[in-house]
């Protein structure tokens, strides 16, 4: 609007000076008006010119002040944007540093978890090794007991064979004695046929029969005793086998229960550690996603603000260009009006030189 006013003032001035020239020319042609009137008109026109110049200079000063204020505002905006850029860059740097620390922490946690798993596996292997060693030791003890039992049985068999051999020798001795006694009695029978010989033979027969009954009784008793011993031994062996089987079953059951307990405890511990690790990984991933989302949001906001500022700058430039074009059109229109009004070119020159729009 200031440019339009100034151009109107310049047009007014041009028209005025044109009128003045026409009046001078008229006075010069007609020579009817006095010089006093000419000086008065000249003074009035000069005053108008000075006022127009003063108004123009005032408008130019105002536009210069506005440009100065605009430059200051623009510099302030540039400084603010630079500060925001620096702060955003620092924030992104801190976020990157935090993410790197978080990645290192996750790697360290994974390494510690691997170490814990290895320790658990080593402990389980040691426990299994100890259990195997104890089982081997128990088997060796049972084997030694079986060897001792077999040695006792072998000794019993040797003693039994010895007793049977002694019984056989005793039977053989008794048989020989019986044969000798029979021969003796036969000889006596041949030598003596009297009653005394018969009585002796009867006594000898009775003695022999008593000996045989005693021998048969001893043999039967020995057989019964041996059968009882063998029966007791068989019962003891069966009871020992059953006890050994029960003991081995109990040991195996205890070992199985202990092994299951160790496996279950290890499985529970591993599950707990896995759940904790998964929870930590999930929390870290969620935190990482939140950080990335925040960084992306900040970047989008920065780009959006930058785009808005660019669009605002383009709007300002477009508005300024339109304003300049409008003022230029007004200027051209005013110049044509002056030209049509017959204003000389020398009075239109100042308006033609004037730059509109502050550019």
In a domain, 194, yes or no: yes
How many Cβ atoms are within 10 Å of 92's Cβ, its own excluded?
14
pLDDT value, residue 359: 46
Contact 44, 272 (CB under 8 A): no
If pLDDT is split at 50, 70 and 90, which confidence band does 165 have? Answer: confident
Contact 34, 358 (CB under 8 A): no
Residue 178 vs residue 196, higher pLDDT: 178
In this predicted structure, the answer to whether residue 33 has a pLDDT above a threshold of 60 is no
221: Cα within 13 Å, side-chain hemisphere: 6
Tokens of 167: 């019984």
pLDDT 10s digits, 254-311: 766 766 776 677 677 767 777 776 776 676 667 667 766 776 677 788 778 777 776 7
Of 211, 223, 208, 225, which Cα lies nearest the Cα of 168? 223
Number of domains in the chain: 1
Which pLDDT value is given to residue 112?
Answer: 82
Q: Is residue 310 part of a domain?
A: yes
Check whether 122 has a pLDDT greater than 50: yes
Place of tokens 């151009």: 7
Domain of 236 in residue numbering reads as 2-353
Task: Specify the pLDDT at position 88.
Answer: 76
**Measured CA distances, 273 to 105, 136, 212, 265 (Å):** 17, 34, 88, 12
**Could you give the CA distance from residue 195 to residue 201 in angstroms, rounded to a whole number?**
10
Closest CA to 255 of 131, 140, 126: 131
- What is the rounded distance in angstroms from the CA atom of residue 66 to the CA atom of residue 74? 12
CB 185 within 8 A of CB 204: yes
- Supply the DSSP symbol for 337: H
Across all residues in the chain, what is the average pLDDT? 71
The dihedral over CA atoms of 291, 294, 299, 304, expressed in degrees to the nearest 10, equals 170
Which has more pLDDT, 2 or 293? 293
Distance CA 233, CA 240 (A): 10
More confident residue, 198 or 163: 163
**pLDDT band of 357, cuts 50, 70, 90:** low
**Residue 358 counted as domain residue:** no
Please give the Cα distance from 126 to 130 (Å, whole number): 6
Is 66 domain-assigned?
yes
Confidence of residue 205 (pLDDT cuts 50, 70, 90): low
Q: Report percent pLDDT > 70 for the chain.
A: 53
For 132-163, how does the pLDDT look when each residue is reduced to its tens digit (9 = 90+)? 777 778 778 777 877 777 677 667 767 777 77
pLDDT for res 212: 66
Taking residue 45's Cβ as centre, other Cβ atoms within 10 Å add up to: 17
Q: Is residue 113 one of the residues assigned to a domain?
A: yes
Measure the CA–CA gap between 15 and 9, rounded to whole angstroms.
Answer: 10
Q: Please report whether residue 259 resides in a domain.
A: yes
Note whether residue 123 is domain-resident.
Answer: yes
């Amino acid at each position: 609007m200031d440019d339009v006013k100034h151009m109107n003032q310049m047009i007014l001035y041009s028209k005025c000076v044109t009128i003045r020239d026409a009046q001078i020319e008229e006075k010069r042609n007609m020579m009817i008006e006095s010089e006093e009137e000419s000086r008065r008109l000249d003074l009035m026109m000069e005053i108008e010119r000075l006022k127009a110049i003063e108004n123009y200079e005032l408008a130019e000063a105002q536009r210069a002040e506005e440009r100065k204020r605009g430059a200051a505002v623009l510099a302030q905006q540039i400084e603010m944007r630079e500060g925001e850029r620096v702060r955003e860059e620092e924030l992104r740097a801190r976020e990157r540093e935090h993410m790197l620390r978080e990645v290192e922490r996750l790697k360290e946690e994974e390494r510690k978890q691997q170490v814990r798993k290895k320790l658990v596996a080593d402990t389980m292997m040691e426990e299994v090794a100890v259990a195997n060693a104890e089982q081997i030791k128990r088997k060796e003890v049972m084997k030694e007991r079986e060897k001792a039992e077999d040695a006792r049985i072998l000794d019993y068999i040797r003693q039994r064979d010895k007793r049977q051999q002694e019984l056989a020798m005793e039977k053989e001795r008794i048989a020989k004695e019986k044969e000798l006694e029979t021969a003796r009695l036969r000889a006596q029978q041949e030598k003596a046929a009297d009653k005394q010989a018969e009585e002796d033979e009867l006594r000898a027969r009775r003695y022999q029969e008593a000996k045989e009954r005693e021998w048969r009784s001893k043999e039967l008793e020995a057989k019964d005793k041996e059968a009882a011993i063998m029966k007791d031994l068989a019962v003891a062996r069966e009871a020992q086998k059953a006890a050994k089987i029960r003991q081995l079953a109990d040991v195996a059951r205890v070992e199985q229960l202990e092994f299951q307990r160790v496996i279950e405890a290890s499985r529970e511990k591993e599950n707990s550690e896995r759940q904790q690790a998964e929870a930590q990984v999930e929390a870290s991933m969620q935190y990482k996603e939140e950080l990335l989302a925040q960084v992306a949001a900040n970047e989008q906001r920065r780009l959006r603000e930058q785009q808005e500022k660019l669009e605002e700058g383009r709007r300002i430039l477009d508005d300024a260009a339109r304003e300049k074009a409008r003022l230029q059109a007004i200027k051209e229109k005013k110049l044509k009006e002056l030209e049509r009004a017959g204003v000389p070119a020398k009075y239109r020159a100042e308006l033609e030189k004037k730059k509109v729009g502050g550019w």
